[in-house]
């Protein structure tokens, strides 16, 4: 008996079976690239004929791939550093508005997440082309920031919706300046969502391809762009190696977010 209702073992097993099948259906297409990245074949093959680290060595020795990895990491880091503070203050400010204005402002901020990426990429291309920033790291970061801010805003809006703003007002009434109240009262209580939003912003930049196809180039070409370009020339397991690296980064980010979320629920 659970909460006054009788447990049905068969239904519980069916729920678990459905959940497991759903996880396999969603994860299998992504994780299948891992064994393919250890293939000794000259082409993508599953299952691999034999295991080898040759393509990982090729990835590390290739100037094109390492340069793209460096560009992606730089763009992801800068995107996170720019988008997280903007998203935090935007969410905080939106919570101070009336419901009508909050809905309007929130809708405008999350608009880039609703509009197809191809439209954003085309618009950014023409704007940045006029000021000579196409192919630059600054232009790439600006494009990624436009896509990352809505992610940060949504996460931080949910965090601030549970925050007791009277604590900040009490600190200000006791003589704390606004930055002291922020660093000693506000930020410690939303540190988990800040970390989660930062990781999501980084992964958003790392995985983004449409904007990168239009804006990045040369030494600033990102991994996703180089991957799509390489697919036109030769389909070798290097693509699987890069996919595995991106998958590991995304998985680590999700695990950290889930652990932070579980810790927040316990407290």
pLDDT interval class at 111 (50, 70, 90): confident
Residues paired with residue 191 on neighbouring β-strands, in sequence order = none
| CA gap 241, 33 in Å, rounded | 8
Judged by DSSP in three states, 221 sits in coil
- DSSP assignment of 39-105: B-SSS--SS-SSB--HHHHHHHH-HHHHHHHHHHHHHHHHHHHHHHHHHHHHHHHHHTS-HHHHHHH
pLDDT given for residue 110 in this prediction: 86
Break the chain into its structural domains and give their ranges: 54-266
Tokens of 154: 């949504």
Q: Would you say residue 152 has pLDDT above 60? A: yes
Phi-psi label, residue 223: left if phi above 0, alpha if psi -120 to 50, beta otherwise:
alpha
- In 3D space, the residue among 250, 252, 244 whose CA is nearest the CA of residue 205 turns out to be 250
Mean pLDDT of the chain: 81
Per-residue pLDDT of 64-93, as tens digits, reads 888 888 888 899 999 999 999 999 989 888
Task: Look up the pTM and report it.
Answer: 0.78
Superfamily of domain 54-266: MetI-like (1.10.3720.10)
Per-residue pLDDT of 127-136, as tens digits, reads 888 888 888 8
């Amino acid at each position: 008996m659970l909460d006054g209702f009788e447990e049905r073992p068969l239904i519980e097993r069916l729920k678990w079976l459905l959940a497991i099948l759903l996880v396999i259906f969603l994860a299998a297409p992504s994780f299948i690239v891992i064994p393919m990245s250890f293939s000794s074949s000259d082409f993508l093959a599953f299952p691999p004929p034999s295991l080898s680290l040759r393509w990982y060595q090729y990835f590390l020795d290739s100037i094109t791939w390492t340069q793209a990895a460096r560009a992606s990491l730089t763009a992801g880091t800068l995107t996170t550093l720019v988008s997280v503070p903007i998203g935090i203050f935007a969410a905080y400010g939106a919570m101070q508005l009336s419901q009508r204005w909050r809905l309007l402002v929130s809708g405008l901020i999350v608009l880039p997440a609703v509009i197809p990426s191809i439209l954003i990429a085309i618009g950014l291309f023409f704007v940045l082309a006029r000021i000579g920033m196409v192919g630059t790291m600054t232009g790439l970061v600006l494009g990624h920031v436009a896509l990352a801010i809505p992610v940060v805003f949504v996460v931080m809006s949910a965090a601030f919706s549970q925050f007791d703003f009277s604590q900040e007002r009490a600190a200000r009434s006791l003589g704390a300046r606004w930055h002291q109240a922020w660093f000693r009262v506000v930020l410690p209580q939303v540190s988990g969502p800040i970390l989660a939003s930062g990781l999501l912003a980084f992964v958003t930049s790392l995985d983004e391809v449409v904007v990168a196809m239009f804006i990045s180039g040369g030494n600033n070409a990102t991994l996703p762009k180089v991957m799509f370009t390489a697919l036109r020339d030769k389909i070798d397991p290097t693509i699987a190696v890069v996919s595995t690296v991106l998958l590991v980064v995304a998985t680590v980010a999700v695990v950290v977010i889930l652990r932070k979320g579980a810790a927040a629920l316990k407290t």
